[in-house]
Structure 1
Amino acid sequence: MNFGVIAFVVLVLLILILLISNIVIVQQSRAYVVERLGAFRAVWNVGLHLKVPFIERVAKKVSLKEQVADFAPQPVITKDNVTMQIDTVIYFQITDPKLYTYGVEHPMNAIENLTATTLRNIIGDMELDQSLTSRDIINSRMRAILDEATDPWGIKVNRVELKNIIPPKEIQNAMEKQMKAERERRESILQAEGTKQSQILVAEGEKQSAILKADAAKQAAILKAEGEKEARIMAAEAEAQAIMQVQQALADSLKLLNDAAPNDQVVKLKALEAMQKVADGKATKIIIPSELQGLAGLAASAKAVFDTEDPKQ
């Protein structure tokens, strides 16, 4: 094979390798800072890019995702001269890759030092009790200060959290004793409230029981009275019914008597029977009408005749 052909093939391969090596693909949520001959050229975002060989280079690859920086505990002194350890967590995001690349040397170290300084300034204006109970206030103030300070670096601070506040050992012991006493006090209050509620419930139960007993006695008395009333009404109704039946029977007998068209002798005989019933009473004198006297004599004579007859007849 001719040497010239070989050289041409090698040259073509070198050119292809060079072109392929200068093809840059930027991934999602990332940005590349490109320099040309040492000077800033452009910021490449997601997509396919071609770099000029030997002239351009990728100076920095920047992540655009939200990042977390967890810093070691920092010693701080409160307004009442109490030294304690506080560690912080910062959530930040790079918004300008160019400023992040050229704004500050070692951005993370700069953010850590700025965080420690800001924390000391804020805690230095607070007493111990206030600093322990004002985490939200401290977080908000630190976020505002850090966000403003890191803006020229192309960084946005989204959130700052005090991860842990560690007071001195003797203060921790005093706080534990105070918390224990507070717990015991609350427990005593709860026990007293429970006893009070129990007594109220017992009294309420006794009250309801007495009310129920009184209602039961009242209902029993009402039912008894109603029963006696109903019994008296039924007895009166039965007596009235009996009287009505007697009267009806008497009326029926009179009706039958009238329907039979009795003669004068039958009427007189009925009158005599009535007089007999009157005589059964306790009256000492009985006045018999004149029209009944003959009938009475006739009845006596008939009785005498029957008495003298032979019983076998």
Structure 2
Amino acid sequence: MLWIFWLILGFIVLFIIIKAVVIVKQYEGGLIFRLGKVIGKLKPGVNIIIPFLDVPVKVDLRTKVTDIPPQDMITKDNAVVRVDAIIYYRVVDVEKALLEVEDYEYAIINLAQTTLRAIIGNMELDEVLNKREYINSKLLEILDKETDAWGVRVEKVEVKEIDPPEDIKNAMAQQMKAERLKRAAILEAEGEKQSRILKAEGIAESLRIEAEGRAKAIKIVAEAAREYFKDEAQIYQALEVAKVVLKDNSKYIISENILDLAKNFINKEKVKK
């Protein structure tokens, strides 16, 4: 029976040793309460306490992410919007976090909800929809200031969603559709205008090239006539050549009467001689 006694005693000693050792992780902190009074802080690593008299309380010091539950809020112009957000915070003072507030996470969520309602209530609907960054910065400023007494630092606040009433959504959708149609019509008109300009420029360039070609042809004909024909024959042949060259040209019109008059003038000059 003696061995049973020592076995039980061994289990009791082992249990007391286990209770006396508190292991704290690197990202944790905490306090040691002895009969309800703080007697020290827990540090990362192994901490020795008196079992049954000391109570260790740990706190996670890493940044935590907490949702602010969605809630309906009334804007300054009496529009109802549904807003939810996310808070990034961490404990920077373990003693304040455990002694100054019962549940700092619950307190932060409720404070964020009331603060967000106050901010939205001082803004009109258009401002709420268009000034999300302002809402984030204002909410962060107020929360960080108020939670300082709890040993908590609010690092970032992000409004996740702002959900306006259904009729406002429909109006916004119609407005966006009208804007898209307007932009499409403008782009189409600009494209058509550009196409017409390019087409007109092409026609003008074609006419210019054609005119230059005709002019060069007439010049070549005139120079050839001056070189190979003499006296009246030169004039007569030049007119004949010009008539042939310009016969089918709709751009340059030379009356055939002019050619007849030129011939008559040559014949008269011959009679005079």
Q: Same fold (TM over 0.5)?
A: yes
SS of aligned partner of 2:69: coil
Instruction: In structure 2, give the amino acid aligned to 1:50.
Output: I
Q: Is the CA contact (8 Å cut-off) linking 2:42 and 2:56 kept in structure 1?
A: no
Which of 45, 64, 69 does residue 66 from structure 2 map onto?
Answer: 69
Distance 1:148 1:205 in 2: 70
Correspondence for 1:173 = 170
| Residues 8/192 of structure 1: CA separation in 2 closer, same or farther (3 Å cut) | same
Distance 1:214 1:26 in 2: 96
Correspondence for 1:78 = 75
Shift of residue 56, structure 1, vs aligned partner: 0.9
Unaligned runs of 5+ in 1: 229-313
Task: Judge which range, 155-164 or 42-51, deviates more.
Answer: 42-51
Distance 1:185 1:122 in 2: 35
Distance 1:209 1:25 in 2: 92
Distance 1:205 1:48 in 2: 88
Correspondence for 2:130 = 133
Which of 27, 30, 34 does residue 28 from structure 2 map onto?
Answer: 30
Distance 1:97 1:45 in 2: 11
Shift of residue 213, structure 1, vs aligned partner: 7.6
How many pairs were matched up? Answer: 218
Larger Rg: 1
Unaligned runs of 5+ in 2: 225-273
Instruction: In structure 2, give the amino acid aligned to 1:30.
Output: E
| Residues 210/28 of structure 1: CA separation in 2 closer, same or farther (3 Å cut) | farther
Instruction: In structure 2, give the amino acid aligned to 1:147.
Output: D
Shift of residue 197, structure 1, vs aligned partner: 3.0
Shift of residue 10, structure 1, vs aligned partner: 4.5
Correspondence for 2:256 = none
Instruction: In structure 2, give the amino acid aligned to 1:187.
Output: A
TM-score by length of 2: 0.70
> Is the counterpart of residue 100 in structure 1 residue 97 in structure 2?
yes
Distance 2:177 2:207 in 1: 45
Pairwise CA RMSD: 2.8
Instruction: In structure 1, give the amino acid aligned to 2:87.
Output: I
Task: Judge which range, 181-190 or 14-23, deviates more.
Answer: 14-23
| Residues 6/195 of structure 1: CA separation in 2 closer, same or farther (3 Å cut) | same
Shift of residue 145, structure 1, vs aligned partner: 0.3
Encode CA deviations 1:181-204: one digit per residue, 9 max, x unaligned.
111111111212222333344455
Report runs of 4+ in structure 1 exceeding 6 Å deviation.
Answer: 207-215
> Is the counterpart of residue 89 in structure 1 residue 82 in structure 2?
no
Q: Percent identity?
A: 43
Correspondence for 1:53 = 51
Instruction: In structure 1, give the amino acid aligned to 2:63.
Output: E
Q: How do residues 90-239 of structure 1 correspond to structure 2 at under 5 angstroms?
A: 90-203=87-200
Shift of residue 160, structure 1, vs aligned partner: 1.0
